[in-house]
Chains A and B, each alone.
Chain A
């Protein structure tokens, strides 16, 4: 045998890094510590895989997560054992709830110390079990390449999700070397996600849809994750269907299109929620009938036949019964529907009842006029909705927008009209405050030329404000839109509505001077307190291409998010303003 055919001998740490490179990983986000020192040393000795040093492990997970949301590929996190791993837990749970592919590599104490309550030991497999798609521990360094392959395969296939790889320190010893080869692919007898969807069910779904008089296409995060927004858009246009997107699905169908009726659910548009309630056929694509969408499931869409496409069978008929279930990846299923339509088109059957559909559109038009996203206009106070609209204008609707959690998140979802998928990046399932800034960083690192905006509030931003330091280190010129109302706005809104405005711990006393804080970290801060200051401030901020600009925008502290579903009601039971209710 020639020498070239001899596999290279590498240590466990070096194999891990090489395997990441062979998997196409460019960046790893993390924080070093005792249990991962060998891995960090292996990282140091090569230039293919770059490491991004955050200031808190939670931020590393959100960076990786947001990279995955924007690019579709798994993000990679590297943390040490014990506190490093536990700090990553919130970020892992965030990714899990939104089905985001992520590989989290956690250091662990030496194998012989496991179970002894050793320094920085924690049972990360046990802790992470309920919040991962899968987790594994390395028992033999020689297994590392295959386990890395398996981790990526599981994280990225089927319904994606985070995978934790726990690596005891002695698995990465620099002086113990093993032959390295990276597997091309992997097969698991116990895991084989069904991909294409049952043709008979697809046919039945199409028949049901074509027989509809009041159809609604309700699409969710699965369309974004499944890269199927083109197919979805084509199908919707072909059949002239009204389209609503979930919070996670925004951008899957262009928001500026006439057929788009807005987001649905708790803070969905009046027309979307009304249309859902009155629909006779609901075509759910990659959505999971979350409680923030359905309101009370017993009162949910009483007259609708439900078609449901999802890759995860457990999401079908979990909270709401599906009449025509299709288990499969949304992209091939929608493609199959389109091709069946093509075949029917030649026999000119492939249209809905046009009279009924026209009437339905007229009805939707009337609903559109009822609320239409209106909000109070003030000349003395900045309205958060107006700020988002201005940001949309200044970025031509092309920005990647990340958000934290609360009122600002809902305003961003409602008023930044997303025309493209993968541009709206927020923590929908877990609702993680502190997500926005690291998420923006993760996107900016990979798309340095793109405009990346973090819409946040003075509460959320302080949950990971330390990352301003990471931004300085890596020159991440994100724009922070801090909608500062001095309150934990969404908590306050609920206290206004349900607790006679008793603001139990929902105020923000002793706020820092955010402008000075940004400057202290080496960035640019701009304060905006009056409506007329907004335009020039945005102009200046977006002109500063490569700099991080922190816009501390003081908004109306009394504003609420509307429409808002009445808790325990049907889809169409809504508050439309502080004084109006359906």
Chain B
């Protein structure tokens, strides 16, 4: 099962290495990892996407919690939440294809954020599934480059991961 784990971490050098190291040492998967400082500059927030059965996920959350610099964490997948990922795709777009690519971007509510005589760069935001669907829709186009931020997640309603 895919799980999205959000972690509040002391914003100190080496703290991120400890999180990543834990996954490598214990053989856990990381599908994606995003990290940046929060409104409180002493704290970072990570969103980790991982896979495993219940026992593995339980171990992952417990082992993460054991790291001294981990302040708090929550498995977002356990309740209602929102996830978003941002992707930029650079594609070959010349002649007839230019119109076709633009139409497809519109359907996915993507934005063309850079243009050259032969290329478009499209920004798409959404769930990982939506991003993958867009790449699939671009199959007939020559994709030059794809860059994704990885998932960021937040729980719905009043629930908040904060101090």
Q: Is the CB of B68 within 8 A of A314?
A: no
Q: Verify if A129 is at the interface (C-beta below 8 Å from B).
A: yes
Q: Once bound together, how far apart are the Cα atoms of A424 and B13, in whole Å?
A: 39
Given contacts A130-B25, A137-B14, 13 further A-B contacts (CB under 8 A): A129-B18, A129-B21, A134-B68, A154-B68, A189-B71, A190-B10, A312-B66, A313-B65, A314-B59, A314-B63, A314-B65, A317-B55, A317-B58
Q: Interface code A178-189, partner B: CB below 8 Å = 1, 0 otherwise?
A: 000000000011
Nearest Cβ distance between residue A114 and chain B, in whole angstroms? Answer: 11
Q: Once bound together, how far apart are the Cα atoms of A330 and B55, in whole Å?
A: 24
Q: Verify if A239 is at the interface (C-beta below 8 Å from B).
A: no
Chain A residues contacting B66 (CB-CB under 8 Å) are 312, 314
Q: Verify if A337 is at the interface (C-beta below 8 Å from B).
A: no
Q: Verify if A133 is at the interface (C-beta below 8 Å from B).
A: yes
| Given A314-B59, A317-B55, A125 contacting B14 (CB threshold 8 A) | yes
In chain A, positions 181-224 with a C-beta closer than 8 Å to chain B are 188-191
Binding site for B on A (CB under 8 A): 125-126, 129-130, 133-135, 137, 154, 188-191, 312-314, 317-318
Q: Is the CB of A318 within 8 A of B68?
A: no
Q: Verify if B69 is at the interface (C-beta below 8 Å from A).
A: yes
Q: Is the CB of B71 within 8 A of A190?
A: yes
Q: Is the CB of A191 within 8 A of B68?
A: yes
Summarize A's interface: helix, strand, loop or mixed.
Answer: mixed
Q: Once bound together, how far apart are the Cα atoms of A314 and B22, in whole Å?
A: 13
Q: Once bound together, how far apart are the Cα atoms of A134 and B63, in whole Å?
A: 13
Q: Verify if B103 is at the interface (C-beta below 8 Å from A).
A: no
Q: Once bound together, how far apart are the Cα atoms of A312 and B63, in whole Å?
A: 10
The total of Cβ contacts below 8 Å across the A-B interface reads: 34
Q: Is the CB of A314 within 8 A of B21?
A: no
Of all A-B residue pairs in the complex, the 7 with the closest CB atoms, nearest first, are A314-B62, A190-B71, A134-B68, A313-B62, A191-B68, A130-B25, A314-B63
27 contacts between A and B (CB under 8 A): A125-B14, A126-B17, A129-B14, A129-B17, A129-B18, A129-B21, A130-B21, A130-B25, A134-B68, A135-B14, A137-B14, A154-B68, A188-B68, A189-B163, A190-B68, A190-B69, A190-B71, A191-B68, A312-B66, A313-B62, A313-B65, A314-B59, A314-B62, A314-B63, A317-B55, A317-B58, A318-B59
Q: Once bound together, how far apart are the Cα atoms of A462 and B55, in whole Å?
A: 43
Nearest Cβ distance between residue A570 and chain B, in whole angstroms? Answer: 21
Q: Once bound together, how far apart are the Cα atoms of A446 and B71, in whole Å?
A: 38
Closest B residue to A321 using CB positions: B55
Chain B residues contacting A317 (CB-CB under 8 Å) are 55, 58
Nearest Cβ distance between residue B90 and chain A, in whole angstroms? Answer: 34
Pick the most buried of B58, B59, B62: most chain A CB atoms within 10 A of its CB: B62
Q: Verify if B70 is at the interface (C-beta below 8 Å from A).
A: yes
Q: Interface code B56-88, partner A: CB below 8 Å = 1, 0 otherwise?
A: 001100110110111100000000000000000
Nearest Cβ distance between residue B46 and chain A, in whole angstroms? Answer: 13
Nearest Cβ distance between residue B118 and chain A, in whole angstroms? Answer: 42
